[in-house]
A and B are shown apart, each in its own frame.
Chain A
Amino acid sequence: DAKTTQPPSMDCAEGRAANLPCNHSTISGNEYVYWYRQIHSQGPQYIIHGLKNNETNEMASLIITEDRKSSTLILPHATLRDTAVYYCTEGPGGSRLTFGEGTQLTVNP
């Protein structure tokens, strides 16, 4: 069973920031936080990962709380093409990953 908890769905207005939360209640010190997304039954796509520090790349930003029990994926300017299911997961380096149900993000015009 997945170890993370996410809301089943969220809405966001186009052009606004989308902030997707994830709880990592049982995360260990050596486990990374990962975010993936899946657009309409395509293969899931990697977005970003982090261990302790906040991270930013061309797709998104990742905020990890100091106790590492929660993370937030931020899409700074959501577009219609960002409508997808977003999965957070966790695991130590070089390990298998399990996925929960994810959050269905709908970006509205």
Chain B
Amino acid sequence: NAGVTQTPKFRILKIGQSMTLQCTQDMNHNYMYWYRQDPGMGLKLIYYSVGAGITDKGEVPNGYNVSRSTTEDFPLRLELAAPSQTSVYFCASSYASGANVLTFGAGSRLTVL
């Protein structure tokens, strides 16, 4: 049982490049989330999904896209990377019912130069 797995762990992008951060979970959780964390700051919710085929915006969705074709996977797409997207990105998942206990991945550190 691996929990929440994120790839890559580190990535450097040039301004204007595109990339996808991968997130997969093996706990059969319905809900999945993407957060970003800037240096010394708290977590900001980018997008979340309550099940396959359903996604919704969080607090800071601009510059990102997501899809949820399966229960297990929730990739985050950056289309035109900007320096403001330099951050650590965390994926998380949880069950749909009851208290919302999130399991987080280890994070993906992205630098845009």
- Complex Cα spacing A42 to B9, Å: 11
Interface size on A, residues (CB 8 A): 24
Given contacts A93-B99, A98-B59, contact A43 B107 (CB under 8 A): yes
- Complex Cα spacing A49 to B44, Å: 20
B42 lies within 8 A of A32 (CB): no
Chain A positions within 8 Å of B50 at CB level: 94
A44 contacts which of B48, B58, B90, B98 (Cβ < 8 Å)?
B90
A43 lies within 8 A of B96 (CB): no
Q: Which residue of chain A is the closest to B96 with respect to CB atoms?
A: A94
A contact face: mostly helix, strand, loop, or mixed:
loop
- Complex Cα spacing A13 to B42, Å: 25
Taking A42-B106, A96-B45, A101-B41 as known contacts, 11 extra A-B pairs with beta carbons closer than 8 A to each other, sorted by chain A number, are A43-B106, A51-B99, A87-B43, A93-B100, A94-B97, A94-B98, A96-B48, A96-B58, A97-B45, A98-B45, A99-B42
- B: residues with CB less than 8 A from A are 4, 31, 33, 35, 41-45, 48, 50, 58-59, 88, 90, 92, 95-107
CB distance from B47 to the nearest CB of A (A): 10
A99 contacts which of B31, B43, B98 (Cβ < 8 Å)?
B43
A95 contacts which of B43, B88, B100, B104 (Cβ < 8 Å)?
B100
CB distance from B99 to the nearest CB of A (A): 5
CB distance from B75 to the nearest CB of A (A): 18
Given contacts A43-B90, A99-B43, contact A49 B101 (CB under 8 A): yes
Given contacts A93-B97, A93-B99, A96-B58, contact A101 B104 (CB under 8 A): no
Interfacial residues of chain A within 1-56, with CB under 8 A of chain B in the complex: 2, 32, 34, 36, 41-46, 49, 51
